[in-house]
Amino acid sequence: MRVTEVKMRSSTLFTNVLLASCAVSAYSIDAQKPLSPSESSSLSSLLNLHKNLIEIPSISRDEHNVSQWLANYLEGQGFTVETQSISSDPPRENILAYLGSSRKTKTLITSHIDTVPPFWPYERRGDEIWGRGSVDAKGAVATQVKAVEALVTSNDIKEGDVAMLFVVGEEIDGDGMVAVNNLGLSWDTVIFGEPTELKLASGHKGILSVKISAHGKAAHSGYPELGRNANDLLIHALAKLMDVEWPSSERFGNSTCNIGRMEGGVAQNVIAEEAVALIAVRVAAEVDKVKALVEETLLGVTPDLQIEFGTAYDPVPIDHDVEGKQSARRLGLLSANYDIRI
């Protein structure tokens, strides 16, 4: 099974990983119940790991420091650790950890160690933890590591049962996970860690990334008739785009469009010669239909727009047949800054 073909099946191991330690429940502990010494120790260990991960900035394409720290930590816990180089300039690595010499395992536990920008330092606000990546996805990484450690300690798993994989680049183009296909490994069960309120994700929307460039003619703002404003062209085009009725599906709901970034012109008294917008459509149906809608809408405003399509893929359905667990569809990637309650 390729990593990009996610399958989750019911298994005793899956249930154990989710429930074996306070790592899973640490974020919803009843404050009115005193913790036992062992629970308190486990919680403290989890929170320390979580804090260390958050305090190391790891914005996509700058993950080297957190990769190295996590690799050293896992080696210190007795795991065999492999680093998979994604690039050398800048240095970026995936981390694969397992017991003994069996890199081939039945189950893979995985999440990502990169975050969206900007870096937000770790802080505690009462019973909340704030900081970039505290939820997505260093909360998952810390929980997964501590759950596997607990299962090793209790002898519920052994060599050949479980591997952990922590990848880079998830928040941008997924190059870390794509590279995992080169490891030559497959698994019976893959458990992905993402902020889903402990519900199983039955699938997630696809995406279409678009760069729109408008080209005008520069002139002084006192003589607008001598130029052509690229900002005007782009604004009118984007306004039309927001009126589009995007395709939907029963499983994934509505497609949605976000204008994430706009840039144009050089000064307020100069007619803008160039303008650019970056948009992302969360795709609930076929991505080719969305591409056609984007082109039809934008070029209907003016042919003087350049459209460049980037990352594009259809919605991804996921097998999620684990008995006793609730499920929910993933509407997109959650880039949460906030908070874990403890």
Active site residues: 170
Other CB atoms within a 10 A radius of the CB of residue 230 amount to 24
Contact 226, 219 (CB under 8 A): yes
- Tell me how far apart the alpha carbons of residues 255 and 281 are, in angstroms, rounded to a whole number: 7
Contacts with 228 (C-beta within 8 Å, 6 or more apart), sequence order: 216, 217, 271
Contacts with 89 (C-beta within 8 Å, 6 or more apart), sequence order: none
Taking alpha carbons only, the member of 101, 166, 160 closest to residue 140 is 166
- Tell me how far apart the alpha carbons of residues 91 and 300 are, in angstroms, rounded to a whole number: 44
Residue-wise DSSP of 272-323: -SEEEEEEEEEESS-HHHHHHHHHHHHHHH-S-EEEEEEEEE--EE---B-T
To the nearest 5 percent, what fractions of the chain are helix, strand and coil? Answer: 30, 30, 40
Strands (DSSP E) contained in 103-153 are: 107-112, 123-125, 128-130
Token couple for 313: 């893929």
